[in-house]
Amino acid sequence: MQTLSVNKRAAILSVLLLIFALGAWEVSVTRQEVGVALTEYEILMGLGQPRAAVPPPSDVMIRAWEQLSDPFYDNGPNDKGIGIQLAYSIQRVLTGFLLAAAMAIPLGFLIGMSPVAYKALNPFIQVLRPISPLAWMPLALFIIQDSQASAIFVIFICSVWPMLLNTAFGVAGVRADWVNVARTHELGSLRTALTVILPAAAPTILTGMRISIGIAWLVIVAAEMLVGGTGIGYYVWNEWNNLDLTSVIFSILMIGLVGMVLDAIFASLQRAVTYAE
Amino acid sequence: MSKPFLSVERLTQSFPDGAGGTLTVFENASFGIEKGEFVCILGHSGCGKSTIMNVLAGLAEPTSGVVKMDGMGVSGPSLDRGVVFQNYSLLPWLSALKNVTFGVKARYRDWSRDKVVDHATRYLAMVGLEGDVIHRKPSQLSGGMRQRVSIARAFANQPKLLLLDEPFGALDALTRGTIQEELLRVWSKTEQTVFMITHDIDEAILLADRILLMTNGPFARIAESVEITIPRPRVRTEIVEHPNYYAIRNHLVQFLGKRSKELAGRASDGASQSPAPVRIDLTAPAENPEPGPQTGPESGREPRAHLKAVHG
Ligand SMILES: Nc1ncnc2c1ncn2[C@@H]1O[C@H](COP(=O)(O)OP(=O)(O)O)[C@@H](O)[C@H]1O
Ligand SMILES: [Mg+2]
């Protein structure tokens, strides 16, 4: 018993923390409901009527059970299952992210391999990079005239920078000896790029991709709150307007879970291309 | 006299010295290497050995001068000139075998996969790497094994000229000894022309047909070309018994310890600088009676009859 592994001890501690946190939440919320009697003023003004109290975790769990047992139902624009909403968001994130990768990785190669290209493009990157992706939204809506495409554009613009800079950094940092190995074997530029520089820079490039997908998932929620229609961001906002806090909390948890899964996928890709020197 | 297989003619290399001037590493250096010859170049750190090798490899452009191989001018890197770098020359994301097939595939583009793998495996076996180890990544191999893989990769490509830049510099003495012998074995099987940089005198004597001695820089010169008059096959423990061994060794030690400094730092006045040939052979009859003061304790010794037929 005394010699439980670190992992087992950590797992036990995690479960205990979870039980404690949920217990504390449950207890504090129920007490609040008992303790808060409506004042005469509130009753008269109708303020207390659809009283939105923070729901206890047991309610959230029940909601989760309902939602997850039928995640893909579709009862019209304002009532879709959580699975459908998440699928919309993931699809937007992946579209914007892949478009960004298709541009950022080749461009990053160019910048990383050519000091001139780096110097020429650097001022633009420095100005564009710190702009909040949501600041592009009005301009995107005006130019693209389509809210869905604008959301994708916002994802594109926020995920392009980490991939661009990491690719450039990784490519510029490839050891001269490895490039010389390619040169002494008379490999052309394309083969050198694919068989030497790409694998050498892959860990750094994947770090950039992992950062990008994380940012994209953060940004999609906000973007969908703005453009509306579908997606997990819209869902959260819609449930807030319905004062359905149980669903709000449930969808917050789902956003966290999906973000974790996306990160885990890129972490495993990163592990697959990492090499020890 | 016909031109040697590799001929270096009036090679000059200068770099900006960072203070507005130029740093001339060497000037008008000329020397040749014969086909099948194993030549080592010895000199202090920073004298310009790697700079010469980079020019021979085609990885750097000289300020002036030409390098000709088989009568053709060398420009740019080529599969005809294989290089073994001191460090990091293995691609760490590929296994030992894949590092070798990487080279073989580049050299023999029309070979089938199986043929490439067979060829690579055979050369790895020649340097003593067989079985599971060849599927390990460089990070899972010892320093000695990694350098064996580099050597296998270079030899597997059967280049016309093999260039080695301090290939054993990072290895411990015992490992170095083993790999030197492996290198000799592979070399004797392949008749490869080799140009190798080293800072280890004993290594140079064991391996080389000829040692080029380089003075200190700037304006370094390849001052001498010392023939190693010890017959092959050579084994480390046996060559030290040879009467020429200490004579040659002392000559080299004297050069590196003293004369490399005395001869340093002179501009060439436009003259081509060829190394002076030096032949120290105590086993030869009378024509070489006074090997000079540097040849040390062995000078008076009776030559051994059975070692007389040295080197053609
Ligand atoms: N690309 C370069 N730019 C400037 N100086 C260089 C460059 N390459 C080598 N040098 C200088 O040339 C000299 C010889 O260097 P190197 O050939 O590496 O010496 P070695 O291999 O004999 O130790 C050194 O003084 C070094 O600083
Ligand atoms: Mg060097």
Kindly write down the DSSP assignment for every residue of A176-241, as one continuous string: HHHHHHHHHTT--HHHHIIIIIHHHHHHHHHHHHHHHHHHHHHHHHHHHHHH-SSSHHHHHHHHHH
What is the sign of the dihedral through the CA atoms of B113, B119, B122 and B126?
negative
Say yes or no: A32 and A64 in one domain: no
Which has the higher per-residue pLDDT, A240 or A77? Answer: A240
Say yes or no: A70 and A45 in one domain: no
Q: What is the 3-state secondary structure (H, E, C) of A72-123?
A: CCECCCCCECHHHHHHHHHHHHHHHHHHHHHHHHHHHHHHHHCHHHHHHHHH
Say yes or no: A67 and A160 in one domain: yes
Residues present in chain B in total: 312
Query: Is the Cβ pair B89, A177 closer than 8 Å?
Result: yes
* Contact with chain A for residue B77, Cβ under 8 A: yes
Number of folded domains in chain A?
Answer: 2
Query: Is the Cβ pair B88, A177 closer than 8 Å?
Result: yes
DSSP A38: P
Return the exposure string of B95-128: e unless at least 16 CB atoms fall within 10 Å of the residue's CB, then b.
bbbbbbbbbbbbbbeeeeeeebbebbbebbebbe
Task: Tell me how far the alpha carbon of residue A98 is from its chain's centroid.
Answer: 14
Say yes or no: A260 and A187 in one domain: yes
Token couple for A205: 């490039």
Q: Which residues of A touch B120 (CB under 8 A)?
A: none
Q: Above 80 in pLDDT, residue A271? A: yes
Token couple for A67: 């939602």
Phi/psi of residue B228, nearest 5 degrees: -95, 100
Q: Which residue has the tokens 């423990």?
A: B237
Q: How confident is the model at residue A1 (pLDDT cuts 50, 70, 90)?
A: low
Is B260 in contact with B214 (CB distance < 8 Å)? yes
Q: Above 80 in pLDDT, residue A103? A: yes
Q: Above 80 in pLDDT, residue A36? A: no
Say yes or no: A65 and A43 in one domain: no
Say yes or no: A47 and A151 in one domain: no
Query: Is the Cβ pair A184, B59 closer than 8 Å?
Result: yes
**pLDDT, tens only, B213-223:** 999 878 888 99
Q: What is the pLDDT of residue B306?
A: 36
Which has the higher per-residue pLDDT, A109 or B263? Answer: A109
* Contact with chain B for residue A189, Cβ under 8 A: no
Q: Can you give the C-alpha Rg of chain A in angstroms?
A: 25
User: What is the rounded distance in angstroms from the CA atom of residue A122 to the CA atom of residue A111?
Assistant: 9
Q: Above 50 in pLDDT, residue A35? A: no
Token couple for A152: 């994708």
Say yes or no: A155 and A209 in one domain: yes
Name the residue of B51, B61, B86 to mutate for ligand 1: max ligand atoms within 8 A of Cβ.
B51
Q: What is the pLDDT of residue A273?
A: 95
Ligand 1 nearest-atom number relative to CA B54: 17
- What ipTM is given for this predicted complex? 0.83
All domains of chain B, ordered by start, with CATH? Answer: 6-80+160-309 (3.40.50.300), 90-158 (no CATH)
Mark which of A54, A73, A92 sits at the end of a domain. A54
Residue nearest to atom 14 of ligand 1 (CA): B48
Is B42 in contact with B214 (CB distance < 8 Å)? yes
User: What is the rounded distance in angstroms from the CA atom of residue A163 to the CA atom of residue B81?
Assistant: 38
* Contact with chain A for residue B15, Cβ under 8 A: no
Which has the higher per-residue pLDDT, B223 or A38? Answer: B223
* Contact with chain A for residue B102, Cβ under 8 A: yes
Query: Is the Cβ pair A183, B81 closer than 8 Å?
Result: no
Q: What is the pLDDT of residue A77?
A: 79
Ligand 1 nearest-atom number relative to CA B48: 17
* Contact with chain B for residue A266, Cβ under 8 A: no
Supply the CATH number for residue A243's domain. Answer: 1.10.3720.10
Q: Which residues pair with B6 in a beta bridge?
A: B33, B69
Q: What is the pLDDT of residue A222?
A: 94
Residues of chain B with pLDDT under 50: 288-312
Q: Above 50 in pLDDT, residue A24? A: yes
Q: What is the pLDDT of residue B249?
A: 95
Say yes or no: A44 and A78 in one domain: no
Pocket of ligand 1 (CB under 6 A): B 15, 25, 43, 45-51, 217
Is B197 in contact with B51 (CB distance < 8 Å)? no
User: What is the rounded distance in angstroms from the CA atom of residue A235 to the CA atom of residue A28?
Assistant: 27
Q: Which domain holds residue A19?
A: 1-54
Kindly write down the DSSP assignment for every residue of B207-233, as one continuous string: H-SEEEEE--SSSB-EEEEEE---PSS
Average pLDDT score over residue span A121-150: 93
Which pTM value belongs to this model?
Answer: 0.83
Say yes or no: A50 and A70 in one domain: no
Ligand nearest to the CA of B63: 1
Return the exposure string of A69-102: e unless at least 16 CB atoms fall within 10 Å of the residue's CB, then b.
eeeeeeeeeeebbbbbbbbbbbebbebbbebbbe
Is B38 in contact with B197 (CB distance < 8 Å)? no
Say yes or no: A244 and A112 in one domain: yes
Say yes or no: A127 and A49 in one domain: no
Which has the higher per-residue pLDDT, A223 or B189? Answer: A223
User: What is the rounded distance in angstroms from the CA atom of residue B252 to the CA atom of residue B141?
Assistant: 34
Q: Which residue has the tokens 């800072």?
A: B199
Say yes or no: A105 and A227 in one domain: yes
Candidates A183, A184, A277; nearest CB to B139: A277
DSSP B126: H
Task: Give B140 to chain A, closest Cα distance, Å.
Answer: 9
